[in-house]
Amino acid sequence: MSMIQVDGLKKSFGSEDALRGITFNVERGEIFGLLGPSGSGKTTTIKIMTGEFKPSGGDVHVNSYSYKQFSKNDYVSSLGILSDKSSLYDRLTVKDNLELFRKLYNAPKGSVEKVLRDVGLESEIDKTVSKLSKGMKQRILLCKAVIHRPAILFLDEPTSALDPTTTEKIHDMLEELRNDGTTILLTTHNMDEATRLCDNVAFLYQGVIQDSGAPVDLRHKYKRDEVHITYTDGTVKTVERTAKNKQLLDNVLFNSEVADVRTDFPTLGEVFKKVTGKELV
Amino acid sequence: MNMTRMMAIFEKDLKEFMKNMMLFTSVLIPVLMAVFFSRVGVGAGAEGEMPPEILGILAGVVFSAVIFSSVMTMIAEENEKDTLRGLLQSPATIIDIILGKSMVVTLMTIISLVASIMIIGPENYWTLENIISLVLTGLFFLNMGIGLGLVVKSVATTSVYIIPIMFIFGFTPYIEMLITDPDSIAIKIAEYFPIYQHMFVLEGNGGAMEFIILAAWVAVSFLLVLWAFNKRKNDE
């Protein structure tokens, strides 16, 4: 059985349909990305899985629990949650903040020190949170989400507005968690993040999954067999990659007038635009 | 309800309380008032005994400034900074969270009240009847703070509630300074307010009726808490 099974999930707010029957599965130890612009239904999907919202239709199973059991303590204890709205107690130290959640989740003593070592922030343990940088706070929030070693981690825009160095550190930590068997569902606008981290992604737009699959498979699916040749004088020539043009393309490599050769293998962002007609912003 | 989680929240909130100047100074206000009253001998009778009105106002200040405004501010701050969501996403229930916070403000209220009363040093203050009336009055203010705290979304908004509640329920006996006619309907209504019941008990004039009225105020304030819980649930 998949770790997350979503079947025809619907959610309406009054007359507005936020989700119109989405279906996807996430396997144990997989990083799954829900990609879509703001208002596409990503956060609503996560909020249903964390028990904050009740679905209007369809079915959801997470870690063998039906959505009707999402308020159960065992279920809540198996989750880790980090959203762009997650925050810490600014007046308290890093240790005070993490100790609170260690006790709430009944995690073993020493978990605080261990998780801080994992993110390289053990030297900040006695610092007041208000004195930390934004990137450090985000890493502490991730520590808070994983202090009890959850089976499933929900991440809603985990690296939005963070600098590349912090983003890199968070990505490394997420890869380690996946290697340890944690199932991760993340939402993001960042296509590089999705391409690097996700085993599978789903394009969510206007409450509907427009397409899904492994990032590399989606890029292959939507690629065009074209080669763009840029010459030193600035002219660009697009040639179809067919047997008929083999001689021309072979010669390109030896042509000193050629400045750049690029195949039409789209990025995930370009695939999203092809599928939905919208930029992923 | 889980004792370990409740104690974890109590510990966290106690540390936050001590580091929050706004909350911490609220504990000192009644103590400073007690020092002021005892030094200038405000309203002291012939034998130097402090009249029940002053003791009633002091209790009103403790309850409105410490228990009511502190618990409301603590919940409002959690709402504003979205830390309440983090707690609610954990195995802690809203009951664990509210009880943890209530324990902190109750502890601070007891410290503030005992210190203030010790400074004034009235005789026969800690009678069983008076302690029961203090507990019921404190419960009323605690419920009001929890109920309104669940409704307000930011610390700035709390002042909209703190000032009127403080004047209406905390400083009720001051109405006698504004309205001198003892037969005024406003005075008659005010005499049904919680602090007056506490004062009647303190004067030794309290009977079952005062406790029934206090219990009714606690029941009404508890309904406010239930309404706020439901409102919050529906809003989400």
As a whole number of angstroms, the distance between CA B112 and CA B107 comes to: 9
- Please indicate whether, in this complex, the C-beta atoms of B87 and A104 are within 8 angstroms of each other: yes
pLDDT digits (tens, 9 = 90+) for B91-108: 998 889 999 999 999 999
pLDDT attached to residue B235: 67
Q: What is the mean pLDDT of chain B?
A: 89
> Binning pLDDT at 50, 70 and 90, where does residue A162 land?
confident
Name which of A17-26, A122-131, A251-260, B111-120 the model is least confident about. A251-260
User: What pairs with residue A185 in β-bridges?
Assistant: A32, A154
pLDDT attached to residue B43: 55
Residue of B nearest to A52 (CA): B236
Strand ranges (DSSP E) for A116-246? 152-156, 183-188, 200-205, 208-213, 226-231, 236-240
- C-alpha dist (Å) from residue A28 to A116, A126, A150, A153, B209: 25, 36, 12, 11, 64
- C-alpha dist (Å) from residue A84 to A87, A138, B194: 8, 9, 44
As a whole number of angstroms, the distance between CA A81 and CA A76 comes to: 10
> Binning pLDDT at 50, 70 and 90, where does residue A33 land?
very high
Residues of B with CB under 8 A from a CB of A: 4-5, 7-9, 11-12, 15-16, 19-20, 81-83, 85-87, 89-92, 236
pLDDT attached to residue A201: 95
The pTM score is: 0.84
Of residues A215 and A224, the one with the higher pLDDT is: A215
Chain B nearest-CA distance from A242, in A, is 56
Is the predicted pLDDT of residue B44 greater than 70, yes or no?
Answer: no
Is the predicted pLDDT of residue B133 greater than 60, yes or no?
Answer: yes
A95 token code pair = 């240790």
pLDDT attached to residue A113: 94
pLDDT attached to residue A150: 94
pLDDT digits (tens, 9 = 90+) for A250-270: 888 888 888 998 887 888 888
Residue of B nearest to A72 (CA): B91
Residue ranges per structural domain of chain A: 1-78+152-211, 87-149, 224-264
Is the predicted pLDDT of residue A163 greater than 70, yes or no?
Answer: yes
pLDDT attached to residue B49: 66
As a whole number of angstroms, the distance between CA B38 and CA B25 comes to: 20
pLDDT attached to residue B204: 80
- Among B8, B20, B85, the residue with its CB nearest the CB of A100 is B8
What number does CATH give the domain A1-78+152-211? 3.40.50.300
pLDDT attached to residue B45: 56
pLDDT digits (tens, 9 = 90+) for B159-189: 899 989 988 998 888 887 788 887 888 888 9
As a whole number of angstroms, the distance between CA B150 and CA B27 comes to: 22
Q: Looking at beta carbons, which residues of chain B come within 8 Å of A76?
A: 89-91
pLDDT attached to residue A107: 93
- Among B15, B19, B89, the residue with its CB nearest the CB of A50 is B89
pLDDT attached to residue A227: 87
Q: Looking at beta carbons, which residues of chain A come within 8 Å of B85?
A: 85-86
- State the average pLDDT over residues A231-240: 88
As a whole number of angstroms, the distance between CA A29 and CA A32 comes to: 10
- Please indicate whether, in this complex, the C-beta atoms of A87 and B82 are within 8 angstroms of each other: yes
Say which DSSP state B49 is in. P
